[in-house]
Structure 1
């Protein structure tokens, strides 16, 4: 059955003509980055890529181990998408916000790329005006760090440090590894210094455009596919209020977590994915569920009876769950966890693509990771 699924996926993948596809927002995107974006478009309808934050960095009862993954321990394969965090790189820290050494992170990124996986970054950036955490909303930070702001130079220094790190993440042939870059996530919430309660829509758009222009044009990072990821929204107007423009976005998505009321979660998720399909089509972008999950997964059939029935209805490019930080906070099951068997069934469903189905497709083309 798995071989049949992989073969069908390859047929669908190859049958989509490149002339029907749209290019990255960065017109100078590298060959591998451009090919990845085309590939992810071809996969629409063939399956939803499954991702996990810090998947090969650490998990339940292990950390930094080579060839380890809680997802793989249940399914026999890695996820298709691996998310990482840049937080603390702005302070020259050797570890990220979750304690994962950046040296280890970089190696895991390269390993994922070499097996044909896809890497993405978020950034819980500390407040550039005072060095406090991303959760510091005590001041209107955005106005102070955009061009002309009192702390603009401090913000640029943060970007310089992140760009230096990302520029050094290269494949075996010296090529820049393509990356999905997801800055300022959950921007329609109220808990980060870049959220809607701390800046106007125009201030936020200015921040976004400056950041992407700086990374592309000044730092020469043409391997970035940009993810615009909100949190709360109930209409197209809500979603688009702070949208920086099609020239600065490649993926549109949102973060949506499940809590005790799974029926409410499914209903809300269904509504938002339907809206996102319309938005993505209108703007020629790919849709994604950039963060989701159910803390400690207390429902044994949550994967196949709550999440799968909703996401399988839409043209969602990828779905990513949050990290496994130990037995008190995890979003993917581990051996012995009550939803493990259901997660295995979920991973084998034809609507999902994990690493085993992704690798044969060579999504970076002949010059990229294999």
Structure 2
């Protein structure tokens, strides 16, 4: 196995060098930190060299374990951590010591630093509670968005919550004191109907105003220049639908959508293929990086889902990364653990030259500095 991995790493480095001289686009933040710019350039160079695989809350907990050092269900099955690690800011707005999934923020912060030091990539979503009434992110009982933009009744509440998140993200530092680059994914699944920021609770203009204010505030007022912004929708069937609420090229670096597999696997695969095709077009026109920020098949009951459904579909498109959702319970998980039905196929997925996990990412030094191999 070691010889195979070495061969694939060398192959990946060859691909990386081939793309090194391709035209590169700068981050939407003109004041992005050096490490953030290097990461954005690196992720552009890696387009076509393989899809980076990610997992939400990967090193915090898994099936039948929580908060064990250096543990990961992905690593337990493949021998390597994923390349992308998802986290959530939810509950930071209430000064909670733990996030929405029970991870102490102090631990989460250390795990983020560990990821960065080994050359992995961190991304954050935010299931923010409804600032207008304190209910959950899933509360859609009122048109909240228009109340949060400047002049809105709850604008000051929203700003105070942004201040808390900004303070936390500003404290995500590497060993040299540098700000850790973050792929920040606010208001995800915005074309759905289940969050207070979704299309059923706001007009396109209201939503765009909230997005633009949020990004401008974090950049200008809070001086956060380590954020690469991910615009991630849910349902759409055309380029026009995808862009209906798009805030503009100055407010996004990555574009993507969340797409889960349910009972009909052929339907999932067809829909995923179609939407990735639309994404290819939009990314090329707007000079953005395409990604699949959330996907998965709960409990993965299909033994060869990874190599027969997900991988061949991703391989047809220019996708930077794919992130599977969390392993929360024994009946609610999205990557296999040792002995799970799809574990052997997941190893094949991992061994494919078309995927990138941490072991192949670390040698590439995507931040422009050496990494540890931990």
Q: Fold-level match, TM-score > 0.5?
A: yes
Contact 2:219 2:225 (8 Å CA) reproduced: yes
**Equivalent position SS for 1:334:** coil
Please name the residue that 1:135 is paired with: 138
**Equivalent position SS for 1:162:** helix
Contact 1:56 1:68 (8 Å CA) reproduced: yes
Distance 1:208 1:233 in 2: 19
1:125 aligns to 2:128 (yes or no): yes
Distance 1:18 1:138 in 2: 51
Distance 1:366 1:311 in 2: 29
1:280 aligns to 2:270 (yes or no): no
Distance 1:129 1:53 in 2: 28
Alignment of 1:119-268 (within 5 A): 119-268=122-271
Aligned equivalent of 2:79, options 76, 79, 83:
76
Distance 2:175 2:262 in 1: 42
> 1:67 Cα deviation (Å)?
0.1
Contact 1:32 1:367 (8 Å CA) reproduced: no
1:290 aligns to 2:293 (yes or no): yes
1:119-139 CA distance string (max 9 Å, x none): 000000000011100000000
Alignment of 1:316-331 (within 5 A): 316-331=319-334
Contact 2:76 2:338 (8 Å CA) reproduced: yes
1:110 aligns to 2:105 (yes or no): no
**Equivalent position SS for 2:124:** strand
Change (3 A) 1:328 1:149: same
Aligned-CA RMSD value: 1.0
Q: Which runs of 4+ in 1 moved over 4 A?
A: 367-370
**Equivalent position SS for 1:197:** helix
> 1:14 Cα deviation (Å)?
2.3
> 1:19 Cα deviation (Å)?
6.4
What is the TM-score with the length of structure 1 in the denominator? 0.99
Contact 2:191 2:234 (8 Å CA) reproduced: yes
Contact 1:113 1:369 (8 Å CA) reproduced: no
> 1:157 Cα deviation (Å)?
0.5
> Could you tell which deviates more after superposition, 40-49 or 3-12?
3-12
**Equivalent position SS for 2:250:** helix
Contact 2:232 2:258 (8 Å CA) reproduced: yes
1:66-116 CA distance string (max 9 Å, x none): 000000000000000000000000000000001111111101100000000
> Could you tell which deviates more after superposition, 17-26 or 148-157?
17-26
Gaps of 5+ in 1: none
What is the TM-score with the length of structure 2 in the denominator? 0.98
Please name the residue that 1:42 is paired with: 45
Change (3 A) 1:15 1:309: closer
1:293-347 CA distance string (max 9 Å, x none): 0000011111111111100111000000000012011001001111100101111
1:226-253 CA distance string (max 9 Å, x none): 0000000000000000000000000000
Change (3 A) 1:268 1:226: same
Contact 2:22 2:45 (8 Å CA) reproduced: no
1:340 aligns to 2:343 (yes or no): yes
Distance 1:309 1:77 in 2: 22
Contact 1:115 1:359 (8 Å CA) reproduced: yes
Change (3 A) 1:27 1:61: same
Change (3 A) 1:369 1:202: farther
